[in-house]
Chain A
Amino acid sequence: MSVSDGGQVLTLAGHLPILPVVVPFMAAPLVVVLGARRLAWPIAFAASLSALAVSVALLLQVLEGGGVSYHIGGWAPPLGIEYRIDAASALMLVLISGLSTTVLPFARRSLAHELEARRHMLFYAAWLLCVSGLMGMVASGDAFNIFVFLEISSLSTYALVASGAGRDRRALTAAYDYLIMGTIGATFFVIGIGFLYAATGTLNMAELAVIIGENGTDRTIQTAFAFIVVGMGLKVAVYPLHLWLPGAYTHAPSVVSAFLAGTATKAAVYVLLRFMFTVFRPEYLFEVRALEVIMLPLALVAMFAASVIAIFQRNLKRMLAYSSIAQIGYILLGIGFLSQTGLAAAVIHLFNHGITKAALFMGVGALLLRADTPFHDRIVGLGRRMPLTGFAMVIAGLSLIGVPGTAGFVSKWLLVQAALEKGWWPFALAVVGSSLLAVIYVWRMIEVLYLQEPEEGGRAEAPLSMLVPLWTVTAATVYFGLATGLTLGAAQSAAEGLMSGFIPVAGEGGGG
C-alpha cells in the first residue's frame, strides 16, 4: 500500500523507543513457553536489565537532542501508531525499568518466603507483562494504544495482587475490588478517547493537540476531558477514588507492593499529565478552571486525611499504603499550581516518591522474613536485630518526610517554591503541615523498630540478596537528594516539554 512509508533501513539506535516495551513483552511468553522454573527469574532479570539500559540510553539521547518518534510498522502518523519519547516519558521509562531491575533480585528470597514455588513461573510472566504494559503506557503517543497498554499492565497487576492469597485470603477481595475500580476507570478513559475521536477524527496525541489548539473546544471535548480525568483519577488513586489502594498494597506480596507503589500509580499520573498538558493544553485548563476547583482541594484532602489515617494504622504495610495516597496528593498539588515549577515539582516527586516508597516496601518485605505479619507489635525491636534493614528504612522514612539531604526534600522544596511563586503561601504551609503528619507516622515506625526490646534476641539480618537491592534504592534516595542535577534537569525539561505541548521531533526519525 502506498501509505506505508517503510523501506528505510534503521540502525539499532533508531529502534530505541520500541525496545523497552518489546523486550519485556517478548520475555513474558518466553518464560511460559520454556516452562522451566529455574529459568524464569534469570529471563525476567535479563529482560528488565536490558530495558533499563535502553531507557537510560533514551534518556541521554532525549536530553541531548530532543524528542524521538517511532512509527510502528512503518505507518506514518496520524494513520499509524506512533511512539514518542521526550524528557518526561524517558524519565518515567528509567524509573519503571530501574525499579523493576532492582526489585527483582529482592524478589527471589522474598517470594520464596511469601509464595508457593509452583506459582513463581507465572508470577514472573505476569511481572514482565506488567512492566511491558507500564512502559507502553509511557512510551506510546497514540491515545487508544495507551488504553491497551493500561489494560495489559492492569490485568497483570490484578493477578499479581491476587497472588498474595496464599498468605491472606483478603488478597482476593482486594484484587477483585481493584479489578472493578480499575476496569471502570479504564472504561471511562476509553469513553473519553471515544469522544475525542468523535470530535477530531484522530487518535494520535500530537495531532489531537493540534486540532484542539486550532479549532478550540466544544462540549464534546469538555466531556472527553472530564471522562479522561476521572478515569485516570481512579487509576492514580486520587483521594476519593483511592479505595482500592490500601487493600491491594497491604495484601499483595511485598515485592509487588514495592514495585506497584513505585510505578503503577506513577505511570497513570504520567498519562494524566500527558492528556492535561499536551493534548488539552494549559490554556484550556485555565479556561475550565478544573484544576483549581477540583484538583487542589482534593490534593489537600489527600495530603491530610490520608496522612491522619496512616498515623492510626497498626499494620506497617497498610500505613505505607495510606502514606502513598497522601504523597499522590503532593503530586496533584504540583499539577494544580499549573506553573512550570509546580509541574517540575510533580514530575520530580513522581520519581523521588517512587524510589522512596519502593525502599520502604522492600524493607517491609525483609522484615516479613523474620516476623510473620507486618503488624507493629510483631516487628518490635526488629531494627536492632536487623540493623542494616532497619537503618535503610529509617533513611527512606526520612525521605518520606522530606528531611534535607534526601530525595523527598528536593521535591517538597520545589513544591513549596512553586506555591510561593504564585503567592499562595497557605499551600506552602499545608505542605509543611502534612510533612509534620508524616513525621508522626514515620516516628511510629522508628519507635517500633528501635525503641523496644525485641521479643527474642540475636542478630537476624536479611540475606544479602535482599540487602543489596534495598540499599541500592536507599542509596539512590540519598544520592538524588544530594546530587540533584540529573533529576532536577530532567524534571525541568519535562515540565517545559509538557507546558509547551509536544516538542517538535528532530528529523522525524524512527520508522519514517
Chain B
Amino acid sequence: MRHHLILRVSTKLLAGAIMLFAFYVQFHGDYSPGGGFQAGVILAVAFVLYGLVYGLEAAQEVLPRRVVHRMMALGVLVYAGTGVVSLLSGYAYLDYNALNPGMPEKGQEAGILLVEGGVGITVAGVMISVYYAFAGRPPRISDEEW
C-alpha cells in the first residue's frame, strides 16, 4: 500500500479543492455559467478520483452505496417537490414566484437555487453510482479482448 505516494497525497489534496469548486459552480449557477449538471459531475469526480486511487472499498466507506442511491432519488424529489410547493400555494407547477410572493425576483432566485440543488444532488449521485456499478463488477474481460 505504499505505492504511488505522489498520487495518493495529491489526491487527498485535490479532492477537497474539487469539491469546493463544485460548490462554487453550483451556487453561482443562477447568474453565471454553471449549475447543477456541471457541479454534480465535478462533485462526483472527487469521489471517483478517490476511488481510483484508494480503491473502491475506501470510496464506499466514505459514501456507501445506499447513500448514493438515496441521493439520486432525493435530488429528483427536491426538484419535483419545489414544483409541488408552488402548486400547493396556488401557483402553476414550478412557478418560483410562489416561494416569495411579495418579491417575485427573490422567489425566482430561491426557486432556481432549489431546483439546481436538486439537479446537483441527483447528477452527483448518478455519476458516482455509475462508477460504483461498473467498478464493482468482477473484471472478467481480459486485456486482449479489448
Whether the pair A32, B73 counts as a contact (CB closer than 8 A) is yes
| Nearest CB in chain A to that of B118: its residue | A29
B58 contacts chain A at the CB level, 8 A cutoff: no
In chain A, positions 457-512 with a C-beta closer than 8 Å to chain B are: 510-511
Residues of B with C-beta under 8 A to A71:
92
B113 in contact (CB, < 8 A): no
Q: Is the CB of A74 within 8 A of B77?
A: no
Complex Cα distance, B90 from A8, in Å, reads 8
- A10 touching B91, Cβ below 8 Å: yes
From 71 to 88 in chain B, residues with beta carbon under 8 angstroms from any chain A beta carbon are: 72-77, 80-81, 83-84, 87
List CB contacts (< 8 Å) of A12-33 with chain B: 15, 18, 22, 25-26, 28-33
- Contact present for A72 and B93 (CB under 8 Å): yes
Decide yes or no whether B108 CB sits under 8 A from chain A.
yes
Residues in B neighbouring A30, C-beta threshold 8 A: 73, 77
| Shortest Cβ distance from A2 into B: residue | B104
Pick out which of these stretches binds chain A: B7-15, B32-40, B45-53, B94-102: B94-102
B69 within 8 A of A: yes
Is A7 interfacial (CB-CB < 8 Å)? Answer: yes
Chain B residue, CB-CB nearest to A26: B80
Check A22/B83 contact, CB under 8 A, given A6-B104, A73-B96.
yes
Residue of A nearest to B77 (CB): A29
- Complex-state Cα separation, A71 to B97, whole angstroms: 14
Q: How far is the CA of A73 from the CA of B104 in the complex (A)?
A: 12
Q: Which residues of B contact A6 (CB under 8 A)?
A: 91-92, 95, 97-98, 104
Our pick among B69, B93, B96 for the contact of A32 (Cβ within 8 Å) is B69
User: CB-CB contacts of B14-34 with A at 8 A, as 1s and 0s?
Assistant: 000000000000000000000
In the bound complex, what is the Cα–Cα distance between A376 and B6 (angstroms)?
A: 65
What mask results when residues 56 to 79 of chain B are scored 1 for a CB within 8 Å of chain A, else 0?
Answer: 000000000010011011111100
B108 to chain A, nearest CB (A): 7
Given contacts A4-B104, A9-B90, A35-B66, contact A29 B80 (CB under 8 A): yes
**A22-B70 CB under 8 A given contacts A6-B92, A73-B95, A74-B97:** no
Q: Chain B residues with Cβ under 8 A from A31's Cβ?
A: 73
Among B77, B93, B96, B104, chain A packs the most CB atoms within 10 A around the CB of B93
Partner of A73, one of B73, B90, B93: B93
Question: Mind listing 9 A-B residue pairs with CB under 8 Å?
Answer: A6-B91, A6-B92, A6-B95, A22-B93, A26-B77, A26-B80, A29-B74, A73-B92, A74-B91
Q: A7-B97, A10-B91, A33-B70 are in contact. List 16 more A-B contacts (CB 8 A).
A: A4-B95, A6-B95, A7-B104, A10-B87, A22-B80, A22-B87, A26-B77, A26-B81, A28-B76, A29-B76, A32-B72, A33-B77, A72-B92, A72-B94, A74-B97, A125-B73
